[in-house]
Amino acid sequence: MKPSVSQPPYFSNLERFGRQLEENGRLPLLVTGIAGVAGFNAFSYFRQKYGPSVYGQRPVNNWPLSGPGIIGVNLEDTRAVAQFIQSKNIQSVLNCGGSCALKNCELDPAMAHRANVVAIQSLLDALSKSEIRLLHVSIDLVFSGTGAGGHDEFALTDPVTVYGKTMVQAEQLIVQRRPQSAILRISLPMGSSFSGHAGAIDWIQSRFVQGKPATLYYDEVRSPTYVECLNEVFEEMIAGHVDGLFHAGGPRNVSLYEIAQIVNAVGGYDPDLLQGCYRLEAGPLPPRAGNVTMNSDKLVKLLGRAPFKEWPIDSKLRPVSRNWHYQRGEFPSSPDQIQNQLYQR
């Protein structure tokens, strides 16, 4: 079942940081790319908190994604985007747009360039000569992960995928054309997606639900965050005036295989469905990054607090071996528990 566009069940304590966007003149807000996990959950969070002053953008052809405040417009259509921004007097934009489908980007680099670079060019054109606040969401896959991880903002980008390369291009465009913007590099946002298979958790779960195996990597390591934590960072960054690049990775590093172990065990699925391998043992498409974990000390210093909880927050749900997911009984396990335990901090 697809979650409600406007009422995800796991958002609570909406007023934790006051009404910063309202107080700082950042409304109305436009959230782009709401078909993805970060955008979908951010739009839902801000819409619940600020009501009709928040709008969400999705591509024209994604018509099932509809509801109050949602507009169908392609970001590459500069004129349509500019007209909407002007008509609604938009004061801030949270850009979560783009295509993160790794294999599709490899097979169709032109599509990847259009979705991840041309769309940014168009958005920047639409925002030109305005004081609109722009917060752009980038990704940890701008790195190859061939080293020990812990990348800070000074680390050189060296992506191994078409997706990562186009995301680097998008960052460079923003720095060159709108340096007063802020860029947040995120890792895996742990929350639901509208399609039910766009996120790390729900893609893995979709395999297990169908009784199909899922093969994940021992040596691709990420810095996941709860979307609840991420939304609050978005809010503080949009409300503020700080520009530049910041890493927004969680404090606990987790491999893709470990993520799948957690989903398998918490969901109560057949443990034999989970398979693991090293990246070099996988097929050539798409190429896989290694340890792309990020150091987020710069963001912590800016905010004056550690904004991200460890994922998963319950220490019982942290694998200690490659067979850990076969051990059941220490915690409740069912598909409902995935939402209760893994989408909520």
**Domains observed in the chain:** 20-195+226-248 (3.40.50.720)
Side-chain-side CA neighbours of 16 within 13 Å: the count stands at: 14
Side-chain-side CA neighbours of 99 within 13 Å: the count stands at: 27
Q: Could you give the CA distance from residue 160 to residue 287 in angstroms, rounded to a whole number?
A: 6
What residues of the chain score a pLDDT lower than 50? Answer: 1-6
Question: Measured on CA atoms in the order 293, 147, 181, 240, is the torsion positive or negative?
Answer: positive
Residue 293, pLDDT score? 98
Question: CB 149: neighbour CB atoms within 10 A?
Answer: 20
Extended beta strands in 59-213, E state: 70-72, 92-95, 133-139, 182-186, 189-190
- DSSP assignment of 6-45: S--TT---TTTT-SHHHHTT--SEEEE-TTSHHHHHHHHH
DSSP tag of 286:
S
Question: CB 71: neighbour CB atoms within 10 A?
Answer: 17
List the beta bridge partners of residue 294.
151
Residue 328, pLDDT score? 82
Structure tokens belonging to residue 260:
């799948």
Closest CA to 305 of 232, 217, 244: 232
Residue 1, pLDDT score? 38
List the beta bridge partners of residue 133.
92
Residue 2, pLDDT score? 45
Cβ-based neighbours of 343, under 8 Å, separated by 6 or more: 10, 190, 191, 192, 201, 226, 227
Give the CA radius of gyration of the chain.
Answer: 19
What pTM does this model have?
A: 0.95
Angle between helices 78-87 and 119-127 (to 10 degrees): 40
Structure tokens belonging to residue 75:
């970001």
